[in-house]
């Protein structure tokens, strides 16, 4: 073992106090300042080369080949590299094999370009290194966080000025919390819903203390369920798993032809569940505002009415679609969101923040009291410590990034991004419809759409074919689209993702579809046409034979 680590070490480098002090260097003297600036300069310019490239999910070097260079598991005793060499290595050896999600040709996922000022802001956050878990390690950040949370809350819930004055800096109440992402935000929402459903009472100390078994006994309940469209994000299954509700109790509801949750199906499902088992508890109904696969939005007002009728928590998963509220033109698509008891929004999606930032908003500023924890040495009761009501303990000051971004962009700036995404997606849908080779599967409501290769001739055939014939055609189409997506990805010029959906023409099997997410302001209809051209070319030269 000794021999191994010595051979890795840089011959001139030893781990000693002198060197150690140097890595804690601050830009105090002229010389150290110049050094630090030089490094920053190299990082920014070095990575710019990377950002100029195509999307680069290239299989010129496969993941398997790459992984062979990353099998050494011994930490060397002495330093292996100087900072300057580490920076070179990251720029020259790592970045070229990372994915250029900022490319305007990268239209497959919800991760995309970020404004460059985010890199500056992230640097400040790292330099300040505040820990928002407690006031003693964050101070002013805690009040900035409360303020920016109130701003977004206002965008969602639009309460009165006096409401916001009463709560914006109120240490007893919580309008929302910063978390890691949509998954944790959804978890926090259902955690609060669960604890509110099974509160302490005489002879029972509450579900948080006594656990699920005791809670069900105390309240004479057999089973808790959560109802959401079949397009619900899979994080919801994780959350009920973690909460002890059991992920088989996420009940997927069918959707209508617009991919919105089918309200009749919801009503029928509730009636059936209650009839089957009178001791059932409907813990929550969830509406999606921007489904991950199709970008569609559920009828939130109707869901709110049904939730109220059954006295159940109404959560809206707006991880993706939340910032649509910036757009005066399109915010009506989220009509009814203000009726939600809780709303998930992701910062690292359409707020264009760097990884990783999620948020949860609450209609009732007291709603998170049921998940409050107090540790004597960290947060004393009645303190402003923000770690009291979040799952995570230590966390970074994402509020400073969001607050600064809102100031730099303005609501109108964000609205321009949202409008561009929605309108470019609509134009893209038009182009897809124009081309005989393609079939638009889910028209965009927000900025996500799905389509597939399915020549007009075959579309016609599907209309009249027998069930058996249809399944056969579906199988062939799946093969074509699956391969198309892979070939295009491997070529490394552009990237669309793929998913599977249940289509009317082939209800038994899942159909493979191509999925585009348009959020990069640099993605134009010209670029999207190039992507379609490339797909046509791949089909005509390599895949045509797969279709009869
Ligand atoms: C992305 C997304 C999530 C999960 O969010 P993460 O930030 O990846 O944890 C949940 N719901 C929806 C609708 C999403 O789009």
pTM of the model: 0.94
| Residue 484 tokens, joined | 């198309």
**Residues near 541 by beta carbon (within 8 Å), at least 6 away in sequence:** none
Band the pLDDT of 447: cuts 50, 70, 90: very high
| Residue 415 tokens, joined | 């609205």
**Candidate from 6-10, 236-240, 376-380, 456-460 with smallest mean pLDDT:** 376-380
Give yes or no for a contact between 326 and 352, defined as CB atoms under 8 angstroms apart. Answer: no
Q: What mean pLDDT is predicted for residues 8-28? A: 82
**Residues near 209 by beta carbon (within 8 Å), at least 6 away in sequence:** 200
Positive or negative, the CA dihedral 344, 519, 291, 501 is negative
Tell me the best of 108, 180, 183 to mutate to test the pocket of ligand 1, counting ligand atoms within 8 Å of each CB and taking the most.
Answer: 183
Closest by alpha carbon to 243, among 314, 191, 182, 184? Answer: 191
Residue-level pLDDT at 125: 94
Tell me the best of 109, 238, 320 to mutate to test the pocket of ligand 1, counting ligand atoms within 8 Å of each CB and taking the most.
Answer: 320
Q: What is the 3-state secondary structure (H, E, C) of 273-302?
A: HHHHCCCEEEEEEEEEECCCCCCCECCHHH
In angstroms, how far is the first alpha carbon of the chain from the final one?
61
Q: CATH number of the domain at 411-547, out of 3.30.565.10, 3.40.640.10, 3.90.1150.10, 3.40.1380.10?
A: 3.90.1150.10
Q: What is the 3-state secondary structure (H, E, C) of 41-88?
A: HHHHHHHHHHHHCCCCCCCCCCHHHHHHCCCCCCCCCCCCCCHHHHHH
| Residue 17 tokens, joined | 């106090």
| Residue 155 tokens, joined | 């965008």
**Paired residues of 297 in beta bridges:** 289
Ligand 1 centroid vs 410 CA: distance in angstroms?
A: 24
> Which residue is closest in CA terms to ligand 1's atom 6?
182
pLDDT at 36 over 50: yes
Band the pLDDT of 32: cuts 50, 70, 90: confident
Q: What span, in angstroms and rounded, lies between the C-alpha atoms of 407 and 404?
A: 5
N residues, the chain: 548
Give yes or no for a contact between 146 and 120, defined as CB atoms under 8 angstroms apart. Answer: no
**Residue 356 Cα: closest atom of ligand 1:** 7
Residues with CB under 6 A from ligand 1: 110, 181-183, 233, 235, 288, 290, 292, 317, 319-320, 346, 358
Q: What mean pLDDT is predicted for residues 266-295? A: 97
Closest by alpha carbon to 547, among 450, 482, 475? Answer: 475
- Output helix, strand, coil percentages for the chain, rounded to the nearest 5: 50, 15, 35
Q: What angle do CA 497, 428, 296 make, to 5 degrees?
A: 65
Burial of 97 (0-12, 13-18, 19+ CB in 10 A): middle
Residue-level pLDDT at 1: 40
pLDDT at 283 over 90: yes
Band the pLDDT of 220: cuts 50, 70, 90: very high
Residue-level pLDDT at 498: 96
Closest by alpha carbon to 127, among 397, 402, 355? Answer: 397
CA distances (Å), 101 to each of 122, 322, 354, in order? Answer: 18, 21, 12
| Residue 544 tokens, joined | 């045509």
Q: What span, in angstroms and rounded, lies between the C-alpha atoms of 286 and 346?
A: 16
Band the pLDDT of 339: cuts 50, 70, 90: very high
Residue-level pLDDT at 18: 86
Closest by alpha carbon to 444, among 389, 387, 525? Answer: 525
**Residue 358 Cα: closest atom of ligand 1:** 7
Give yes or no for a contact between 488 and 514, defined as CB atoms under 8 angstroms apart. Answer: no
Residue-level pLDDT at 504: 82
Residue-level pLDDT at 35: 86
Q: What mean pLDDT is predicted for residues 411-434? A: 98
Closest by alpha carbon to 310, among 290, 285, 330? Answer: 285
> Which residue is closest in CA terms to ligand 1's atom 3?
182
> Which residue is closest in CA terms to ligand 1's atom 10?
182
Closest by alpha carbon to 128, among 140, 118, 143? Answer: 140
Ligand 1 centroid vs 181 CA: distance in angstroms?
A: 7
Tell me the best of 112, 346, 499 to mutate to test the pocket of ligand 1, counting ligand atoms within 8 Å of each CB and taking the most.
Answer: 346
Ligand 1 centroid vs 183 CA: distance in angstroms?
A: 6
**474-514: per-residue pLDDT in tens?**
999 999 999 999 999 988 889 999 999 988 888 788 999 99
Ligand 1 centroid vs 304 CA: distance in angstroms?
A: 21
Q: What mean pLDDT is predicted for residues 116-138? A: 90
Q: What is the number of alpha carbons within 13 Å of residue 318 lying toward its C-beta? A: 31
Residue-level pLDDT at 376: 59
Residue-level pLDDT at 2: 44
Select the more confidently predicted residue: 333 or 136.
333
Residue-level pLDDT at 383: 64
Q: What span, in angstroms and rounded, lies between the C-alpha atoms of 487 and 534?
A: 10
Q: What span, in angstroms and rounded, lies between the C-alpha atoms of 336 and 314?
A: 11
Q: What span, in angstroms and rounded, lies between the C-alpha atoms of 375 and 393?
A: 11
Residue-level pLDDT at 457: 93
CA distances (Å), 305 to each of 228, 254, 323, 340, 360, in order? Answer: 15, 19, 24, 10, 21
Residue-level pLDDT at 175: 97
Q: Say if residue 356 is preceded by a cis peptide, omega within 30 of 0.
A: yes
Ligand 1 centroid vs 239 CA: distance in angstroms?
A: 12
Tell me the best of 290, 292, 350, 392 to mutate to test the pocket of ligand 1, counting ligand atoms within 8 Å of each CB and taking the most.
Answer: 292
Residue-level pLDDT at 387: 74
**40-77: per-residue pLDDT in tens?**
899 888 887 777 766 665 556 778 888 898 999 999 99
B/e letters for 294-305, b = 16+ CB within 10 Å, e = fewer, are: bbbbbbbebbbe
Q: What mean pLDDT is predicted for residues 3-12? A: 66
pLDDT at 11 over 90: no
> Which residue is closest in CA terms to ligand 1's atom 5?
182
**516-547: per-residue pLDDT in tens?**
999 999 999 999 999 999 999 999 999 999 88
DSSP secondary-structure letter at 354?
P
Residue-level pLDDT at 451: 98
pLDDT at 27 over 80: no
Select the more confidently predicted residue: 6 or 387.
387
CB count within 10 Å of CB 496 equals 25
Q: How many helices (H) and strands (E) in the chain?
A: 17, 11
Q: What mean pLDDT is predicted for residues 406-414? A: 98
Computed over every residue of the chain, the mean pLDDT equals: 92
Give yes or no for a contact between 285 and 313, defined as CB atoms under 8 angstroms apart. Answer: yes
Give yes or no for a contact between 548 and 459, defined as CB atoms under 8 angstroms apart. Answer: no
Q: CATH number of the domain at 130-395, out of 3.40.50.1820, 3.30.1490.100, 3.40.640.10, 3.30.460.80?
A: 3.40.640.10
Going by DSSP bridges, is the β-strand pair 497-503/280-288 parallel, antiparallel, or unpaired?
Answer: unpaired
Enumerate the domain spans of the chain.
1-97, 130-395, 411-547
């Amino acid at each position: 073992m000794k021999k191994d680590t010595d051979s890795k070490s840089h011959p001139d480098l030893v781990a000693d106090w002198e060197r150690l002090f140097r890595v804690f260097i601050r830009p105090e003297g002229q010389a150290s300042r110049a050094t630090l600036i030089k490094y920053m300069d190299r990082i920014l310019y070095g990575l710019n080369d990377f950002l100029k490239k195509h999307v680069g999910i290239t299989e010129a070097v496969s993941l398997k080949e790459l992984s062979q260079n990353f099998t050494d598991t011994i930490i060397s005793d002495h330093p292996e590299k100087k900072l300057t060499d580490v920076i070179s290595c990251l720029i020259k050896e790592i970045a070229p094999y990372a994915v250029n999600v900022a490319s305007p040709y990268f239209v497959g996922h919800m991760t995309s370009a970020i404004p460059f000022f985010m890199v500056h802001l992230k640097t400040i956050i790292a330099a300040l290194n505040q820990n928002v878990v407690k006031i003693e390690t964050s101070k002013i950040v805690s009040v900035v966080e409360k303020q920016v949370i109130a701003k977004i809350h206002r965008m969602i819930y639009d309460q009165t000025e006096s409401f916001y004055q009463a709560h914006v800096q109120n240490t007893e109440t919580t309008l929302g919390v910063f978390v890691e992402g949509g998954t944790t935000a959804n978890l926090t929402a259902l955690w609060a819903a669960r604890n509110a459903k099974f509160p302490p009472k005489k002879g029972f100390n509450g579900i948080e203390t006594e656990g699920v078994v005791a809670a069900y006994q105390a309240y004479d309940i057999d089973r808790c369920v959560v109802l959401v469209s079949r397009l619900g994000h899979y994080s919801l299954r994780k959350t009920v798993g973690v909460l002890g509700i059991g992920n088989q109790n996420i009940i997927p509801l069918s959707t209508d032809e617009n991919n919105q949750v089918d309200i009749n199906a919801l009503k029928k499902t509730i009636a059936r569940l209650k009839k089957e088992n009178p001791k059932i508890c409907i813990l929550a109904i969830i509406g999606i505002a921007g489904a991950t696969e199709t970008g569609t939005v559920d009828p939130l007002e109707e869901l709110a009415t049904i939730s109220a009728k059954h006295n159940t928590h109404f959560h809206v998963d707006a991880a993706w679609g939340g910032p649509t509220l910036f757009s005066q033109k399109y915010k009506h698509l989220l009509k009814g969101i203000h009726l939600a008891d809780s709303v998930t929004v992701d910062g690292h999606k359409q707020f264009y923040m760097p990884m990783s930032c999620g948020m949860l908003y609450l209609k009732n500023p007291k709603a998170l009291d049921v998940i409050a924890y107090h540790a004597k040495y960290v947060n004393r009761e009645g303190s402003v410590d923000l770690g009291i009501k979040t799952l995570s303990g230590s966390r970074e000051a994402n509020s400073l990034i969001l607050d600064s971004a809102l100031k730099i962009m303005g609501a109108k700036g964000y609205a321009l991004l949202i409008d561009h995404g929605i309108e470019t997606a609509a134009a893209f849908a038009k182009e897809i419809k124009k081309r005989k080779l393609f079939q638009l599967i889910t028209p965009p409501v927000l900025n996500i759409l799905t389509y597939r290769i399915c020549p007009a001739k075959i579309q016609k055939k599907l209309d009249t074919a027998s069930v058996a014939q249809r399944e056969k055609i579906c199988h062939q189409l799946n093969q074509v689209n699956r391969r198309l997506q892979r070939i295009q990805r491997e070529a490394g010029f552009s990237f669309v993702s793929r998913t599977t959906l249940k289509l009317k023409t082939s209800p038994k099997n899942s159909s493979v579809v191509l999925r585009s997410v348009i959020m990069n302001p640099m993605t134009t209809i010209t670029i999207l046409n190039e992507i379609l051209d490339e797909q046509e070319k791949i089909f005509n030269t390599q895949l045509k034979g797969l279709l009869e």
